[in-house]
């Protein structure tokens, strides 16, 4: 492997604003270790969404089988669970925490403000379920500001607060495919990207607008492949594992 490779998966779908949207997660293979980004829906949701999400399960109708959990999908595609060195959390909302607790040797990388906010929120109040991130044995690595995960510019974590308090988006730099922007929930879909819809905000609307603007300015500059957080059309048009961007 000469450089990093990006694999895209969906862990099922959620009903969001009247649409059924994908719940993506990503695997980045890097010479210094593999990275899971978010992990999608937790396994417990495939078994009994109401038991795990409480009343949030009424708001977000989930379609997910156990085979769609991130660990099952990695296994099916022949990726070794042990080679995952990092789990990067764009944020800690209920449909992004599927990897937590399944990669005991990995460091969990999250913006400090996100972990603080998730822990401060009343359980089930603002899109968090404490059972996801209050498990024993999670090795947290928090950061503030921008974070260059491997120090080589290939995986950069950019703070994009608003949707949640410490939300980050990822800018990847791939040898052949060039820059890739994983907006995560800072921008759910193309309508939000193009300003036809406001960002979906669970924390701070002004921050969310500012974050979207920053991402758009960045995109004007580097012209990345755009990968939105929950966009059926955008996601369908991308390459999915076992295909990859490299």
Footprint on this chain of Zn ion (rule: CB under 5 A): 93, 185
Give the integer Cα–Cα distance in Å for 201 and 178. Answer: 30
Give the integer Cα–Cα distance in Å for 181 and 17. Answer: 24
CB-nearer residue toward Zn ion: 14 or 44: 14
Least CB distance to Zn ion at residue 93 (A): 3
Least CB distance to Zn ion at residue 163 (A): 6
CB-nearer residue toward Zn ion: 5 or 114: 114
CB-nearer residue toward Zn ion: 121 or 185: 185
In the complex, residue closest to Zn ion by CB: 93
Least CB distance to Zn ion at residue 208 (A): 11
Q: Which two tokens stand for residue 149?
A: 């995960």
CB-nearer residue toward Zn ion: 73 or 169: 169
CB-nearer residue toward Zn ion: 4 or 208: 208
Least CB distance to Zn ion at residue 49 (A): 16
Least CB distance to Zn ion at residue 83 (A): 27
């Amino acid at each position: 492997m000469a450089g990093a490779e990006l694999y895209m998966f969906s862990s099922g779908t959620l009903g969001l604003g009247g649409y059924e949207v994908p719940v993506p997660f990503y695997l980045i293979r890097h010479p210094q270790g593999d990275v899971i980004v978010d992990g999608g829906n937790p396994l417990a949701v495939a078994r009994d969404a109401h038991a795990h999400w409480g009343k949030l399960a009424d708001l977000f109708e989930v379609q997910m089988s156990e085979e769609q959990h991130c660990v099952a999908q990695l296994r099916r595609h022949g990726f070794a669970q042990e080679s995952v060195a990092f789990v990067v959390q764009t944020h800690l909302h209920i449909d992004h925490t599927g990897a937590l607790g399944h990669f005991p040797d990995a460091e969990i990388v999250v913006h400090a403000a996100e972990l603080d906010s998730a822990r401060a929120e009343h359980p089930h109040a603002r899109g968090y379920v404490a059972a996801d991130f209050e498990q024993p044995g999670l090795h947290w690595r928090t950061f503030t500001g921008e974070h260059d995960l491997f120090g080589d510019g290939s995986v950069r974590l950019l703070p994009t607060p608003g949707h949640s308090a410490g939300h980050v988006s990822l800018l990847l730099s791939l040898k052949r495919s060039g820059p890739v922007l994983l907006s995560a929930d800072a921008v759910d879909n193309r309508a939000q990207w193009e300003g036809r819809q406001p960002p979906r905000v669970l924390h701070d609307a002004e921050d969310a607008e500012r974050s979207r603007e920053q991402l758009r300015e960045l995109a004007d500059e580097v012209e990345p492949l755009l990968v939105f957080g929950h966009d059926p059309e955008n996601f369908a048009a991308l390459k999915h594992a076992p295909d990859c961007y490299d």
